[in-house]
Amino acid sequence: MSDEVKKGLEGVVVAESALSHIDGDAGKLIYRGYAIEDLAREASYEEVLYLLWHGSLPNRDELDSFSESMADERSVDEDVLSTVRRLAEADADPMAALQTTVSMLSAYDPDDSETDPEDYEANLRKGRRITAKIPTIIAAFDRFRNGDEPVEPREDLGHAENFLYMLNGEEPDEVLAETFDMALVLHADHGLNASTFSSMVTSSTLSGVHSAITSAIGTLAGPLHGGANQNVMKMLKEVDDADQDPVEWVKNALDRGDRVMGMGHRVYNVKDPRAKILGEKSEELGEAAGDTKWYEMSVAIEEYMQEEKGLAPNVDFYSASTYYQMGIPIDVYTPIFAMSRVGGWVGHVLEQYDDNRLIRPRAKYVGPENQEFVPLDER
Ligand code: COA
C-alpha cells in the first residue's frame, strides 16, 4: 500500500457520478450533459432539481407536479420555527442556525427515521422536504433577528420568488426573481466540492439524509468554500468605505499574505463559467440602478489578480455584488448558497446510497513509535 499523501485529495477520483462535470481547462460546467449557460438562461431552479434528482429534464406536466410537491412542503413545524426564533435572538451565526435547524427537521419528517439506503423514494422525499424548507428557515431567521415575524410561504410562487417574498415581506419584481432563480441554478451542483464530499462521507456510513445535509452545511460555511461570497462583499465594502483604490487594497492584502476571497479554484485553471454569468448580472443590476461601482471595483480586482497571480474569479466573486445589489443581507449569502447546493447534496447522497461503500481513507503516520508507558504519578 502506497504512503504517498495526496494533500487536500487533489486529483483523487473517489466515485462515479452522473450529476455534473467540470472541465477545468476549458472553463466548462455541465449538469447531466447540459451546459450551465443554457440552464442559467432557460431553466428554473425547480427544473434543475428535477434534472439532478430524476435524471432528465421534466416536461410541462412533470414540472408542474414536481413544483407543486415542493411548494406543499415549504412550511416548517411550529417547534422548528420557535427554535429558529431562539437562535436568531441569541444572535447565532446564520449558517450555524441553518445547520441546527436542518438537523432538527429530521425529528418532524413523516418518513421513517431509520435509513434504508435501498428506499430511493423515501430518501428522495426527505431530500425534497429539506430543500423545500431551507428557504423558509433562512427567511424566518433573518426576520426574527430584525424583530419581524416570519412570512408564511406561498404555494403559488416559484422557489426563488417565494424566498425573496418571505425574506422581504413583499413580492420581488421580475428582474430580481429571475436573477435569483438563475443564481440558484448556477450554484446547484459542482462535482465533488468539499461540502458535497462531506455529505457523501456521512451517507457512506448509512447515516440519514438529514445528517448528510447537516454535515454539508457545516462544511460549506468555511471561508475557503461557501463562506467566500460574504467575505468578497466585506472586502468590496471595506475598499469603498476607505475610499481606496481596489488594486492598492488587494496589493496590500497580498503583501500581508492574505488570500483574496472569490479568487482561485481547485479545479478551474481559467475563469469559472458561473463567474462570467454572474459578472454580467452584477453589471446589469448596476446599470439599472445607475451605479456600476461594485462591478467596476470587482473588474479591477479581477484584472489585477489575473495579471499578478494568474488567478481567476470563482462563483463567489460576482455573486457577492449581485446579491448586494439585490438588497440581500451580506451574512445571508452563504445560507443562500446552501439553499441552492442542497439540490446537489441530495443528488450525491442518493448516488452514494445506490452504490455504497464506506468512505474511509488512511493517514500516513508521522508520530512517535515504541514509547514506553510511564504511569500517571511518575510523569
Ligand atoms: N488569493 C491569494 N492567493 C491564492 C488564492 C487567493 N484567493 N488562491 C490560491 N492562492 C495561492 C496560494 O497562496 C498558493 O500559493 P503558494 O503556492 O505560493 O503558496 C497557491 O495559490 C495554491 O493555493 P492552494 O491553497 O494550494 O490551492 P487550493 O487548490 O488548495 O485552493 C481555494 C483553492 C479555492 C481554496 C483557494 O484558491 C482560495 O483560498 N480561494 C479563496 C477562497 C475562495 O474564494 N473560495 C471559494 C472557492 S469556490
| CB of residue 311 inside a 6 A radius of ligand 1 | yes
Q: Which residues contact 244 (CB under 8 A, 6 or more apart)?
A: none
Interval 226-270: pLDDT, tens: 999 999 999 999 999 999 999 999 999 999 999 999 999 999 999
Write down the pLDDT at residue 280.
Answer: 97
Cα dihedral: 132, 133, 138, 139 (round 10): 80
Could you tell me which residues are beta bridge partners of residue 23?
28
How many CA atoms, within 13 angstroms, populate the side-chain half-sphere of residue 217?
Answer: 27
Longest CA–CA separation in the chain, Å: 76
C-alpha cell at position 341: 447546493
Question: Based on the domain organization, do 214 and 99 belong to the same domain?
Answer: yes
Interval 47-83: pLDDT, tens: 999 999 999 999 999 999 999 999 999 999 999 999 9
Write down the pLDDT at residue 113.
Answer: 84
Write down the pLDDT at residue 269.
Answer: 94
| CB of residue 239 inside a 6 A radius of ligand 1 | no
pLDDT tier at 122, thresholds 50, 70, 90: very high
Could you tell me which residues are beta bridge partners of residue 236?
none
Question: Based on the domain organization, do 64 and 173 belong to the same domain?
Answer: yes
Residue 150 located in a structural domain: yes
Write down the pLDDT at residue 362.
Answer: 94
| CB of residue 190 inside a 6 A radius of ligand 1 | no
Q: What is the mean pLDDT of residues 146-151?
A: 97
Q: What is the CATH number of the domain that holds 302?
A: 1.10.230.10
pLDDT tier at 323, thresholds 50, 70, 90: very high
Write down the pLDDT at residue 349.
Answer: 98
Domain housing 297 = 228-325
Given 109, 142, 181, 316, the catalytic residue: 316
Residue 354 reports pLDDT greater than 90: yes
Residue 1 reports pLDDT greater than 80: no
Tell which atom from ligand 1 comes closest to the C-alpha of 272.
48
Write down the pLDDT at residue 317.
Answer: 97
How far, in Å, CA of 78 to CA of 112, rounded?
20
pLDDT tier at 133, thresholds 50, 70, 90: very high
Residue 287 reports pLDDT greater than 80: yes
| CB of residue 129 inside a 6 A radius of ligand 1 | no
Q: What is the mean pLDDT of residues 111-138?
A: 95
Residue 141 located in a structural domain: yes
**Distance, CA 8 to ligand 1 centroid (Å)?**
12
Mean pLDDT of the chain: 97
Structurally, the chain folds into a number of domains equal to: 2
Question: Based on the domain organization, do 166 and 63 belong to the same domain?
Answer: yes
Write down the pLDDT at residue 89.
Answer: 97
Write down the pLDDT at residue 114.
Answer: 87
Residue 118 reports pLDDT greater than 80: yes
Residue 44 located in a structural domain: yes
Q: Which residue has the cell 467596476?
A: 296
| CB of residue 227 inside a 6 A radius of ligand 1 | no
How far, in Å, CA of 188 to CA of 192, rounded?
12
- For 127, counting Cβ atoms within 10 Å of its Cβ (0-12 exposed, 13-18 middle, 19+ buried), the class is buried
Residue pair 115/106 in contact by the 8 Å Cβ criterion: no
**Distance, CA 80 to ligand 1 centroid (Å)?**
38
Residue 179 located in a structural domain: yes
How far, in Å, CA of 305 to CA of 247, rounded?
9
Residue 8 located in a structural domain: no
Question: Based on the domain organization, do 72 and 179 belong to the same domain?
Answer: yes
Write down the pLDDT at residue 292.
Answer: 97
C-alpha cell at position 236: 468590496
How far, in Å, CA of 123 to CA of 202, rounded?
14
Residue 112 reports pLDDT greater than 90: no
Q: Would residue 225 show up in a list of annotated catalytic residues for this protein? A: yes
Write down the pLDDT at residue 343.
Answer: 98
Tell me what percent of the residues of the chain surpass a pLDDT of 70: 100
| CB of residue 320 inside a 6 A radius of ligand 1 | no
Given 187, 210, 265, 348, the catalytic residue: 265
Write down the pLDDT at residue 93.
Answer: 97
| CB of residue 278 inside a 6 A radius of ligand 1 | no
Question: Based on the domain organization, do 47 and 118 belong to the same domain?
Answer: yes
Q: Would residue 265 show up in a list of annotated catalytic residues for this protein? A: yes
Question: Based on the domain organization, do 287 and 274 belong to the same domain?
Answer: yes
How far, in Å, CA of 167 to CA of 324, rounded?
14
**Distance, CA 240 to ligand 1 centroid (Å)?**
24
Question: Based on the domain organization, do 260 and 340 belong to the same domain?
Answer: no
Question: Based on the domain organization, do 190 and 301 belong to the same domain?
Answer: no
Q: Whose CA is nearest to atom 19 of ligand 1?
A: 257
Could you tell me which residues are beta bridge partners of residue 22?
29
Question: Based on the domain organization, do 210 and 61 belong to the same domain?
Answer: yes
Interval 188-228: pLDDT, tens: 999 999 999 999 999 999 999 999 999 999 999 999 999 99
Angle at 24 between CA 23 and CA 27, to 5 degrees: 80
| CB of residue 302 inside a 6 A radius of ligand 1 | no
Question: Based on the domain organization, do 58 and 185 belong to the same domain?
Answer: yes
Write down the pLDDT at residue 51.
Answer: 98
Question: Based on the domain organization, do 131 and 149 belong to the same domain?
Answer: yes
Amino acid residing at 124: L
Tell which atom from ligand 1 comes closest to the C-alpha of 265.
34
Q: Whose CA is nearest to atom 28 of ligand 1?
A: 266
Residue 7 located in a structural domain: no
Q: What is the mean pLDDT of residues 318-335?
A: 97
C-alpha cell at position 41: 438562461
Angle at 349 between CA 345 and CA 354, to 5 degrees: 150
Residue 14 located in a structural domain: no
pTM score > 0.75 for this model? yes
Q: Whose CA is nearest to atom 24 of ligand 1?
A: 266
Question: Based on the domain organization, do 279 and 165 belong to the same domain?
Answer: no
Amino acid residing at 96: A
- C-alpha distances in angstroms, 16 versus 176, 191, 351, 352, 355? 36, 10, 9, 9, 9
**DSSP string spanning 152-163?**
PP-TTS-HHHHH
Instruction: Give 264-267's long-range contacts (Cβ < 8 A, gap of 24+).
Output: 264/309, 264/311, 264/312, 264/314, 265/24, 265/312, 265/314, 266/8, 266/10, 267/22, 267/24, 267/191
C-alpha cell at position 307: 495579471
Residue 3 located in a structural domain: no
Interval 159-177: pLDDT, tens: 999 999 999 999 999 999 9
pLDDT tier at 2, thresholds 50, 70, 90: confident
Q: What is the CATH number of the domain that holds 179?
A: 1.10.580.10
Interval 76-108: pLDDT, tens: 999 999 999 999 999 999 999 999 999 999 999
